[in-house]
Amino acid sequence: MPNRIDSTFARLRENQQKAFIAYVAAGDPDFETCLEILKNLADAGADILELGLPFSDPLADGIVNQMAADRALKSGMTTQRVIELIARFRETHETPIVLFTYLNPIFTYGFEDFHRDAAKAGADGILLLDLPPEEAALTTELAGGHGLKHIRLIAPTSPQDRIKLLAESAEGFIYALSRTGVTGSHGAPSANIAAQVANIKQFTDVPVCVGFGITTAAQAALVAEAADGVIVGSAIVKQVELFPERAAAAVREFTEPLIAATKSGS
């Protein structure tokens, strides 16, 4: 069976459209509400869902996503429950899911076991924020992990040789940061996105999607002109924080204009 990520980008290319990728923290504010949020995002037209595993020490995350992880942990979310959440979502939807996580919870669960169980539940890819590919290659256990596409993260400050290494080892799509720093909506995307994307694309045919700091429809359209996809995270998570009693509806209302702009801007 073809990977859902690859199939999605093939369909988008055929329709000359760009991908909209939405990030949410798994279990924020609780299991059932998060499941409803995921379904609403898929129904609104999100092409890929990024699901963040709640972790107690998310160093690369800004305050919005840190608080989301804290809410999820306090609601009782565990790595096993995240896998259950994916399985529940798969009962009704086929939208690709990429797990956004740090190594610690995966290593604790068991690297191979997690890949196997997550893929069996219906996950399609994984982005390990703190596991560089060259480090993974040095450890037999970490060099494995089959069943999930390994998404690579490339920063605008990455040196050229590292961009080449990351691009050539990427699967599914590349997450290109529009700027440096932690996650969050402070600071608009860089004006150099087109050049940044073109630089990465010389080393790979894997789609290049851009995230960090995208909060408006205008910004989404601008990024869609240069990249293969638009990634929005903290701005979506903020809706859960602001409107906990109607989180799923608030997320959909906020996201629909950004999805429309991504499609029309492409």
Active site residues: 50, 61
CA distance 38 to 93: 9
Contact indicator for 77, 26 with CB cutoff of 8 Å? yes
Task: Say if residues 31 and 70 touch (Cβ distance below 8 Å).
Answer: no
Angle at CA of residue 60, ends 55 and 64, nearest 5°: 75
Residue type at 214 in one-letter notation: I
- Measured CA to CA, the distance from residue 158 to residue 73 in angstroms comes to 33
Among the listed residues 257, 250, 182, the one whose alpha carbon sits nearest the alpha carbon of residue 29: 250
Q: Are strands 208-211 and 229-232 parallel, antiparallel or unpaired?
A: parallel
Determine which helix (DSSP H) or strand (DSSP E) holds 86, and give its type and residue range: helix 79-90
The per-residue DSSP string of 161-173 comes to: HHHHHHHHH--S-
Q: Pairing mode, if any, of strands 48-52 and 97-101? A: parallel
| Local structure of 91: helix, strand or coil | coil
Handedness of CA 238, 241, 243, 246 (dihedral sign): positive
Sheet (strand 208-211) strand order: 149-150, 125-128, 97-101, 48-52, 19-25, 229-232, 208-211, 174-177, 152-154
CB 23 within 8 A of CB 52: yes
